[in-house]
Amino acid sequence: MQNIRKNVNLSSLNTFKTGGNARFFCEVESENELIEALKFAKENKLEFFIIGNGSNLLLSDNDFPGIVIKIIIKGKKIEIKDADYSVVSAGAGESFDDLIIFMADNSLSGIENLWNIPGTVGASAVQNIGAYGAETKDFIFLVEGIDANNFEKFSFKNNECRFGYRESIFKKNKNLIITKVSFKLNNVFLPNFSYPSLKEYFSGRKNFDVREIIEAIGKIRREKLPDWKVLGTAGSFFKNPIITEEEYSKLLEKFPDLPRYDAGKDFVKIPLGFVIDKICLLKGFRVGQVGLFEKQSLVIVNYGGADFSEIDNFAKIIEEKVFEKIKVRIEREVENIF
């Protein structure tokens, strides 16, 4: 390949601003270029790692002895225009925000509640991103890509993607590399007000459109989340725990104000931010240059210069303190790499 570079530092390629050097690095703009990069890795017996915007990663400061492949495949297109819905496809390297703008420009709706999440279209399917009462799994129609094991193309319908809470088949099978995602969107504006803050924002109003929802989401996010362009962060670092009804009942005896959300039959999701703030009393907790964001305790922030081990060790402190209080092992939403 012509565009493979050597010894590329990765700290500028992720929002936490950590990472050592990749022995090899390349950007791919098409499926053919992706296959070339994968073949290069195989021929040279190298590990490979796929990166998008790096907004959900905590990269080790150790050097990576393989090849890092950044997906920058672009393109947005309306594939199907039916009476009730439209199918829009986008390259995996497209910004998810740009896809939302394309949707609004074409008088469609559905994924507007996911505005201002700093990831790519490909990552949205890997992670099944969610915010303000919406998840990508509710709108994904088709996921296409390349299987690194045999360099052949795959095409998965929604029910083949094994979506769960911040989970998918692509997160568990790193050989499945996404190149394009298609979304089934509404031709008629159907606002999703399942998130209380958003419902309150539009209380008493009758006439508004999808762009006003996008504007409102942006305002709400700015009020409670750090600016990832200024501070090192990957958004929500931890998942909200999902526990059994029985486990929740026992916790309720000790902590009667603990909120709950239904998570399927016999399961309950509890808000980890509440646990960290009100039960562990860790609101704004900080060690050196790493801390919990004061307005949202699910978010860990690199306030400047913290390395991988400092952030990782800080997260372990939070995990242990939560376990001490509620005897639940919390999971990370952010992936530790290398």
Catalytic residue numbers read 166, 236, 333
Residue 166: φ, ψ to 5°: 55, 35
Is 184:90 a contact under the CB 8 Å cutoff?
Answer: no
| Strand positions, DSSP E, 129-231 | 130-131, 134-135, 140-147, 152-157, 176-186
Amino acid letter, 321: K
Residue 54 to residues 5, 118, 123, 335, 336: CA-CA distances in angstroms?
18, 9, 9, 10, 11
Which residue, chain included where needed, has tokens 């000790």?
Answer: 254
H helices of 202-293, where? Answer: 210-224, 245-254, 272-274
Q: Compute the residue count for the chain.
A: 338
Is 88:103 a contact under the CB 8 Å cutoff?
Answer: yes
Output the CA torsion 220→225→229→231 (10° steps): 160
Is 31:63 a contact under the CB 8 Å cutoff?
Answer: no
How far is the C-alpha of 149 from the C-alpha of 172, rounded, in Å? 14
Residue 306 to residues 54, 243, 292, 294: CA-CA distances in angstroms?
17, 33, 14, 18
**Residue 159, both tokens:** 């029910």
* C-alpha gyration radius of the chain: 21
